[in-house]
Amino acid sequence: MKKTIIPIRILLVLSTFLLTVLLYIDRACISAAKDDICSDLGFDLTDFGWVMAVFTLGYALFQVPSGKLADKFGPRGVISGIVLIWSILTAVTGMAWNYVSMLVIRFFFGAGEAGAFPSLSKVVFNWFPVKERGVVQGINFSGSRLGAAFALPLVAWMITVVGWRTSFLIFGGFGILFGILWYLLFKNKPEESKALSEQEKKYILENRQEPSANKGTIAFSKIIKSKNVWMTMIQYVCSNFTFYFTLTWMFPFVKEKFGLSPVEAGLYSSIPLIAGAVGNWFGGVLVDWLYRIKGLKISRRIPPIIGFSLAAFGMIMVTASGSGTMAIVFLAIAVFGADMTLSPSWVFCIDIGKENAGAVSGTMNMAGNLGAFVTIMAYPYLIEWTGSNVPFFYIAASLSVVAIIMWTFMNPKQVVP
């Protein structure tokens, strides 16, 4: 086979970026379809809250098992299977006929998506030098934000043309195609790739992180005993509390505050998500730049501390905004900051997990999405109890402060035993 002049790592990053775009298009569809689903199936606000929240429950519970599968069998087959499962369930969402059927479908949809990011951590560990991890993870997570930003206006438009049920069927079909292509084209390790030049293979093998002495998969009981892992989990809960508002309740929040049409609300709602994508890029570049000039600890700690500070500021200022436009501006600042924390969070898991990066990052993501479950349910219930959404934003800001405290003690040099 003729060797390509384009580094395979660049093509691989493009592939993982597109994977996360697709992941969040399918995930964000439900928010943009809220009014039509509620009207068609007779859901009220808290009913729909449970529909969105049950996804995160399934997503959280299957993080560690799917991450361990990627560690044991490699990310090629695991990611292909994950994409096929979640894409089929995306299509099946369009067939839901009542409340219970929707809850069951969305729970298993969440379970199906669970292994995506832990498996991508394994891809990064196998394929990328340590000094490139920040940018790679930043690009990957920016795809998730751009996917959601793209989905909100697109799905709102598609619903007006073909209806919400057919929209879900169409997106499911795209995912099935992607899953098949990933299996055909991707290899678990650079050593297995015939398309890789000897020069690039040598560069990867000489600069990627060495496995720890224990090359077997690590038990969850050992992972959960690590203080580092606990602090990682706590700060990720705090990050998801802010972000999942944008993924679930921001669209209806913006639609009501502006008095907009669904398509207009989708366009406005995409602004903070685009800011999140930029935050991912900036955070990833900052991680790698600080690694080169200041070393491992500083490069992992400084970006999330800055990011959570911006997130706290933005969420507080949303409550003081005198107009919907300013609310969007401060939401964009908050999401930019919260998403600055993602690249260092996942890079940190690879640092301390090494060849068990899938299981360790899955543990963090499990906790984060249990927090997301609380976020999704907290918003409608706080409004119901207090008559205001202000308490929600104060809680989000307070959790960002907690996350800053966690990062001051997290140590990327302490590998999970």
Q: Which of 27, 75, 80 is nearest to 54 (CA)?
A: 27
Structure confidence at residue 134 as a pLDDT band (50, 70, 90): confident
Q: Which of 156, 152, 82, 68 is nearest to 112 (CA)?
A: 82
pLDDT tens-digit series, residues 322-379: 777 888 899 999 999 999 999 899 889 988 988 788 788 888 988 888 888 887 888 8
DSSP string for residues in 180-197: HHHHHH--SSGGG-SSS-
pLDDT > 70: percent of the chain? 96
End-to-end CA distance of the chain: 41
pTM metric for this prediction: 0.77
| Contact assessment for residue 145 and residue 93, using Cβ atoms and an 8 Å cutoff | no
CA distance 209 to 205: 9
212 has a pLDDT exceeding 70: no
CA distance 233 to 224: 10
Delimit the domains of the chain by residue range: 8-407
pLDDT tens-digit series, residues 220-258: 778 888 999 999 999 999 998 998 888 778 888 878 777
Give the burial class of 395: count Cβ atoms within 10 A of its Cβ; 0-12 exposed, 13-18 middle, 19 or more buried.
middle
Give the burial class of 213: count Cβ atoms within 10 A of its Cβ; 0-12 exposed, 13-18 middle, 19 or more buried.
exposed
Q: Which two tokens stand for residue 360?
A: 């360790």
Q: Mean pLDDT across the stretch 180-205?
A: 86
CA distance 123 to 13: 10
Give the burial class of 256: count Cβ atoms within 10 A of its Cβ; 0-12 exposed, 13-18 middle, 19 or more buried.
exposed
Class of domain 8-407: mainly alpha
Place of tokens 């007006």: 160
Q: Mean pLDDT across the stretch 98-116?
A: 90
Q: Which two tokens stand for residue 300?
A: 């992992």
